[in-house]
Amino acid sequence: MEPINTATKFEDRKPTNNNKVIEFKTMGTKVKNTDIPILNQRLKIYGYQTIGELIHDFIKAKFPPIYDDHELRSMKTNLQQNGQLTTLSGSYPSFLNNIDYDEMLKFFINNLGLHNKSARDLVSYFRRYYDIFFGNHPDEILKYAPHKRSWILQSMKKFAQYYKYKTGNPDCEDVVRRMIERYNLNVSLDMKRAIYVVDDQFVATKIQKLMEIQGEVGFIIKVGLFSGLREEEIIYSHSKEICPDNAGHKCDKMHVINKPNNGMSIITLNWFRGNKQSYFFIMPTNIWKQFRNLPRFTRKEEINSAHNIVKREVGIKFMDLRKLHYNVVRNTMDPNEADVLAGRAKTVSAQHYALYQLDKMTESYVHAWEKFGIRFTDNIT
């Protein structure tokens, strides 16, 4: 192998605290012009901006990361053969010892496209529960509530994706999947196929109780109920800048279309976080304007206060307002329209309704709420 050529640069000498002079060398190699874009791309993949950064980490043994996959292969073999996790013998796999959590967070955000908060939550859940999941008794995870258990399992799956990205080894993904299946850790978590029968009278009773709540909390409840948005989407819509041009051009700002004939506003949100999305929503114009004029709107103060009142007075959670909203609008809208408002439809469907069916959807929206005793002509605030 041809050695790396070096040249001494005498001006690159720096004295240390003990007056010793450190001599630096300049190293060079030849690269084809056509390979430079490839080199730059590979540097970015591994988190480097320059060749110098890569060389410094290589000298410090930070790159490439060295993983002992022997235990991982043993875990996979044992799970395949008898479904038992017997490889650890009281200790944790060595591939968990030197995880760069900052790098893992960047991978979640930049490579997987996760929202900052979701990515941080996943890293936090992984750090807190990986010792149980990869330990001798992973079935202990079953004692946690479904919502918490779902986050734990998602964090393990995302870590396995990160591990494959770092090492090129897919064994971790396979081990995580087999362990979840072996110990039935995702039992009762897949609720998408469950069927819920909601009586209109139940919906009407809850809405009546919600409308009786007055004051600032009552107004926040109306924002959640009439918009049908998730908590994160409500916060986002309060602070996001509104584009002054409503001609329908594409930009990263919100667009608001007011319908004076029925007092409704259509707000294009285009909020996307992982597999959750909100294309646009409809709500009374007067409530929308009051909401935008609020000096602040946060989860810690406003939403938590509303959640506590809703739970005490009505017996549901603040996030359940979104479900009530869906059950209301589906009475007069066809399934595609209701799904578009709920952020469940494909982008092409959302674009179709945003371009051609807004007037029809706003009329259906108004009629749906009238069926449950809400008349927006009464200037509800």
pLDDT tens, position by position, for the chain (381 residues)? Answer: 344 444 444 445 555 555 666 777 777 778 888 888 888 877 777 777 888 887 877 776 566 654 555 555 555 555 555 444 443 334 455 667 778 899 999 999 888 887 788 889 899 999 999 989 988 888 899 998 888 888 999 999 999 999 888 877 788 888 888 888 888 898 877 554 444 446 788 889 999 999 999 999 999 999 999 999 999 899 999 989 998 876 556 778 888 989 988 899 999 888 887 667 888 899 999 999 999 999 988 877 889 899 999 999 999 999 899 989 988 998 888 777 788 788 766 666 656 665 677 888 899 999 999 999 998 876 666
Residue 282, number of CB atoms within 10 A of its CB = 23
The token duo for 343 is: 């952020």
Note whether 172 and 243 are same-domain residues: no
Tell me: do 177 and 218 sit in the same domain.
Answer: no
Indicate whether 78 and 217 sit together in one domain: no
Do residues 259 and 218 both lie within one domain?
Answer: yes
Q: Exposed, middle or buried by CB within 10 Å (0-12, 13-18, 19+), for 276?
A: middle
Looking at the fold, whether 320 and 249 belong to one and the same domain comes out as: yes
**Amino acid present at 177:** R
Q: Is 22 left (phi over 0), alpha (psi -120 to 50) or beta?
A: beta
| Domain shared by 262 and 326, yes or no | yes
Q: Is residue 65 part of a domain?
A: no
Q: Mention every residue, 6+ apart, whose C-beta is less than 8 A from residue 21.
A: 13, 14, 15
- Burial classification of residue 106, based on how many CB atoms lie within 10 Å of its CB (0-12 exposed, 13-18 middle, 19 or more buried): middle
**Are residues 173 and 81 part of one domain?**
yes
Is position 306 within any domain?
Answer: yes
| 340 in the same domain as 281 | yes
**261 in any annotated domain:** yes
The total of other beta-carbon atoms located within 10 Å of residue 144's CB is 15
Question: How many domains in the chain?
Answer: 3
CATH number, domain containing residue 226:
1.10.443.10
- Give, as one character, the DSSP assignment of residue 242: B
Same domain, 254 and 220: yes
Q: Does 189 fall in a domain? A: no
Is residue 190 one of the residues assigned to a domain? no
**CA gap 14, 39 in Å, rounded:** 31
CA distance 185 to 189: 9
The answer on 167 and 241 residing in a single domain is: no
Range of the domain at 245: 200-378
